[in-house]
Amino acid sequence: MLNPFAQAQFVMSCAELAQCPRDGRPELAFSGRSNSGKSSALNALCGHKGLARVSKTPGRTQLINLFELPTGERLVDLPGYGYAKVPGRVRQDWARMVGTYVEQRTSLQGIVLIMDCRHPLTDHDRQMLEWVRNGQRPCHILLSKSDKLGFGAGKNTFLKVRRDLQAMGVSAGVQLFSAQTGQGLDEARAALWKLLPSAAGLAIEIAPSL
């Protein structure tokens, strides 16, 4: 399939919301716990291993990083959350910045929430989903690192997360995903592309999978 994210290019990093562009261009934001594989997922979706910085040290992404697509729309890599070794004040600042962005950013078209499939729906993930609900944002969840689970365990996790979301009253797409093996990659690209306005002029369809 055609990859609509293939030509994403880094634009800028912002330490606070006031530094973010105010041109109103549509944005699709990536969020997740610090060790959920967020940067790896973003790189895999764009087909560019070095686009977002990947580190073995959780909590390395502390800025809002913006990447521009040829359409003028942007992908936004939000600071990771939930890493215990980050000072409490810094964690609070990150939470305040991310929460405000998700709830109030007028150009935000949707959220891509990455969760480690072995540890989904942590307290921090639930807080993010509360911000998503408050901001009435479309959301697509990638249960990352699915290669770490067998088929049966992965399917059970997928079904449990979907049930839990229903119990929470959250409407969101959910799928298994692996940046390492490519599981769910085409499905994710198609689902995320539909969240951006340009999708109306370039439809991409792919058969869904678990």
Per-residue pLDDT band at 200 (split at 50, 70, 90): confident
Burial of 142 (0-12, 13-18, 19+ CB in 10 A): buried
Instruction: Evaluate if residue 133 carries a pLDDT over 90.
Output: yes
Burial of 123 (0-12, 13-18, 19+ CB in 10 A): exposed
Higher-pLDDT residue of 58, 154: 154
Instruction: Evaluate if residue 149 carries a pLDDT over 70.
Output: yes
Instruction: Evaluate if residue 15 carries a pLDDT over 70.
Output: yes
Six-digit token string for 74: 């942007």
Helix (H, G, I), strand (E, B) or coil at 96: helix
Instruction: Evaluate if residue 207 carries a pLDDT over 60.
Output: no
Domain ranges of the chain: 9-200
Q: What CA–CA distance (Å, rounded) separates 93 from 39?
A: 21
Radius of gyration of the chain (CA): 16
Q: What angle do CA 90, 129, 25 make, to 5 degrees?
A: 80
Q: What CA–CA distance (Å, rounded) separates 70 from 199?
A: 13
The 10s digit of each residue's pLDDT in 95-112 is 788 899 999 999 999 999
CA 125 from chain centre, in angstroms, equals 11
Instruction: Evaluate if residue 132 carries a pLDDT over 70.
Output: yes
Helix (H, G, I), strand (E, B) or coil at 84: coil
Per CATH, the number for 9-200 is: 3.40.50.300
* Summary mean pLDDT of the chain: 88
Q: What CA–CA distance (Å, rounded) separates 32 from 27?
A: 16
Mean pLDDT of 50-61: 58
pTM of the predicted model over 0.85: yes
Instruction: Evaluate if residue 154 carries a pLDDT over 70.
Output: yes
Which has the closest alpha carbon to 128: 34, 29, 59, 32? 32
Per-residue pLDDT band at 129 (split at 50, 70, 90): very high
Q: What CA–CA distance (Å, rounded) separates 100 from 210?
A: 32
Instruction: Evaluate if residue 58 carries a pLDDT over 50.
Output: no
